């Protein structure tokens, strides 16, 4: 009995800090400027990112192999990162390439740090955070909106003082829009009562309102595949809101630690050619502020929820998406621990 409770705590703690084994957005591409390191804490790990000589993003632990200073306080030199303390320089694979203070130092050539695979898509930088069961990065397949010519996407990133899990729960709960966002641009439309329906998909699920479609934020698709976890939802737009179909949000929630996270939102519209130009103009000129206003409503509400609220929640039918999402995360966590335990017992046997 006790062992089961311990196992549950271990799984819960792991999920709270951040389920690994996914490609996660960690910065917008413009935040990572050539020549300047960028520090990021992701799922409790301190990391440093920079662009190498070819402009490719690199990421290693933010820890100097010499005496542990943060490499992010240093500078980029010849595509590598040089510590600001004594100049020890590490490349994108975490190998020491230079110890400038001492000729022929034995540290040179030593593999010293963990490095993380990096990619860019949709105007953001992604890293792969390995789990025990998924140590190698799977192919990075971003949401199709990021790579298709049919879509215009605006990436945006916010830092919220609450668990990343609340952002995901929030997305898996379309019904909140009719209440929390009732005074916003389009989210006021429609009925304030409904029943929710959950449809399992090959990669995740879709949660939707039973009695209302195409009126408000009426559905969310939650995708959890081999390498990514994100959500997608559509908000129908009136004709006055420019060309294209519904306004689409593609979102990721990247854990910083148990208490804080980065919420990433891509604001997407399916428009091409000159219509794309007018959409971009309209968005920048009129709509962007409104969207930040709506996000602010989410932020305030989510930051008001205590970290341990799950212990006391009383869910009802509308939370079937939230429950399903949590089940999927528990499953991924268990796969991680199964691999970890197998590694440990293999280690014991050979010891
Ligand atoms: S601590 Fe980084 S070079 Fe000494
Ligand atoms: Fe919301």
Give the DSSP H/E element, type plus range, for residue 153.
strand 152-160
Ligand in nearest proximity to the CA of 295: 2
CB 223 near ligand 1, within 6 Å: no
**pLDDT given for residue 124 in this prediction:** 98
SS3 content of the chain, % helix, strand, coil (to 5): 30, 30, 40
On whether both 159 and 26 belong to a single domain, the answer is: no
* pLDDT for the residue numbered 351: 65
Q: Hey, which of 48, 66, 89, 113 would you mutate to test ligand 1's pocket, going by the most ligand atoms within 8 Å of its Cβ? A: 66
Cβ pair 207, 320 in contact under 8 A = yes
- Tens-digit pLDDT profile for residues 16-49: 999 999 999 999 999 999 999 999 999 999 999 9
Q: For residue 50, give the nearest of 63, 62, 37 by alpha carbon.
A: 37
Q: Do 188 and 293 share a structural domain?
A: yes
Q: Residue 62: which pLDDT band, with cuts at 50, 70 and 90?
A: very high
Q: Give residue 1's pLDDT.
A: 47
177 and 88 within one domain: no
Residue with tokens 């090959």: 202
Same domain, 155 and 262: yes
Q: What ligand 1 atom has the least distance to the C-alpha of 83?
A: 2
Q: Which helix (H) or strand (E) holds 11?
A: helix 2-17
Q: Which two tokens stand for residue 252?
A: 């990721």
286 pLDDT above the threshold of 90: no
Is residue 4 over pLDDT 90?
A: no
**3-class SS letters over the chain:** CHHHHHHHHHHHHHHHHCCCCEEEEEEEHHHCCCCCCEEEEECCEEEEEEECCCCCEEEEECCCCCCCCCHHHCEEECCEEECCCCCCEECCCCEEEECCCCCCCCCCCCECCCECCEEEECCEEEEEECCCCCCCCCCCCCCHHHHCCCCEEEEEEEEECCCHHHHHHHHCCHHHHHHHCCCCCCCCCCCCCCCEEEEEECCEEEEEECCCCCCCCCEEEEEECCCCEEEEEEECCCHHHCCCCCEEEEEEEEECCCCCEEEEEEEEECCCHHHHHHHHHHHHHHHHHHHHHHHHHHHHHHHCCCCCHHHCCCCCHHHHHHHHHHHHHHHHHHHHHHHHHHHHHHHHHHC
> Whole-angstrom Cα distance, residue 287 to residue 304?
26
The residue among 241, 286, 293, 280 whose CA lies nearest residue 123 is 280
Q: How far is CA 303 from the centre of its chain?
A: 17
Residue 344 lies in a domain: no
- Note the pLDDT tens digit of each residue in 94-133: 999 999 999 999 999 999 999 999 999 999 999 999 999 9
User: Is position 253 within any domain?
Assistant: yes
Query: How many whole angstroms from 26 Cα to the centroid of ligand 1?
Result: 25
Residue 305 lies in a domain: yes
> Do residues 105 and 173 share a domain?
no
Give the percent of the chain with pLDDT over 70. 98
Distance 51 CA to ligand 2 centre (A): 34
d(C-alpha 99, C-alpha 78), whole Å: 14
Same domain, 288 and 164: yes
Please tell me the distance from the alpha carbon of residue 126 to that of residue 220, in angstroms, as a whole number.
Answer: 23
Q: Are residues 31 and 76 in the same domain?
A: yes
Q: Given the CA of residue 68, which atom of ligand 1 is nearest to it?
A: 1
* Ligand 1 contact, 59 CB (< 6 A): no
Distance 181 CA to ligand 2 centre (A): 7
What's the CA-to-centroid distance between 69 and ligand 1, angstroms?
6
* Ligand 2 center to 19 CA (angstroms): 23
User: What distance, in Å, lies between the first and last C-alpha atoms of the chain?
Assistant: 30
How many separate helices (H) and strands (E) can be counted in the chain?
7, 17
Q: What's 231's domain CATH number? A: 3.90.380.10
* Same domain assignment for residues 271 and 323: yes
Identify whether residues 155 and 248 lie together within a single domain. yes
Question: Ligand 1: which residue has its CA nearest to atom 3?
Answer: 86
pLDDT band at 185 (very low <50, low <70, confident <90, very high): low
Range of the domain at 287: 144-330
Q: Which tens digits make up the pLDDT trace of 217-264?
A: 899 999 999 899 999 999 888 777 777 788 899 999 999 999 999 999
- Mean pLDDT estimate for the chain: 94
In-domain check, residue 341? no
The token pair at 342 is: 């197998």
Answer yes or no: is the C-beta of 24 below 6 A from any ligand 1 atom.
Answer: no
| 140-178 pLDDT per residue, tens | 999 999 999 999 999 999 999 999 999 999 999 999 999
């Amino acid at each position: 009995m006790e062992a089961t409770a311990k196992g549950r705590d271990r799984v819960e703690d792991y999920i709270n800090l951040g389920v690994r084994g996914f490609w996660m957005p960690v910065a917008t591409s413009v935040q990572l400027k050539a020549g300047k390191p960028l520090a990021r804490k992701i799922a409790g790990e301190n990391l440093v990112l920079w662009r190498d000589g070819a402009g490719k993003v690199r990421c290693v632990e933010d820890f100097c192999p010499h005496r542990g200073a943060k490499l992010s306080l240093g500078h980029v030199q010849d595509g590598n990162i040089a510590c600001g303390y004594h100049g020890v320089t590490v490349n994108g694979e975490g190998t020491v390439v230079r110890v400038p203070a001492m000729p022929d130092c034995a540290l040179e050539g030593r593999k010293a740090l963990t490095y993380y695979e990096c990619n860019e898509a949709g105007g953001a930088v992604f890293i792969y955070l390995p789990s025990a069961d998924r140590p190698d990065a799977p192919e990075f397949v971003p949401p199709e909106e990021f790579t298709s010519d049919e879509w215009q996407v605006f990436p945006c990133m916010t830092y919220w003082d609450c668990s990343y899990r609340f952002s995901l729960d929030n997305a898996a709960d379309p019904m909140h829009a009719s209440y929390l966002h009732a005074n916003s641009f389009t989210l006021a439309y429609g009925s304030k009562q409904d029943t929710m329906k959950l449809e399992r998909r090959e990669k995740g699920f879709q949660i939707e309102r039973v009695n209302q479609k195409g009126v408000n934020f009426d559905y969310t698709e939650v995708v959890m595949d081999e390498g990514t976890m994100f959500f997608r939802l559509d908000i129908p737009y009136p004709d006055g809101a420019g060309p294209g179909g519904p306004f689409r949000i593609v979102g990721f929630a990247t854990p910083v630690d148990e208490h804080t996270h980065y919420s990433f939102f891509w604001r997407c519209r399916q428009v091409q050619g000159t219509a794309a130009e007018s959409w971009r103009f309209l968005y920048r000129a009129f709509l962007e502020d409104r969207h930040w206003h709506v996000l602010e409503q989410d932020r305030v509400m989510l930051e008001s929820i205590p970290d341990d609220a799950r212990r006391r929640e009383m869910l009802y039918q509308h939370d079937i998406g939230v429950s399903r999402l949590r089940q999927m995360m528990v499953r991924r966590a268990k796969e991680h621990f199964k691999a970890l335990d197998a590694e440990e017992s293999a280690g014991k046997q050979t010891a």
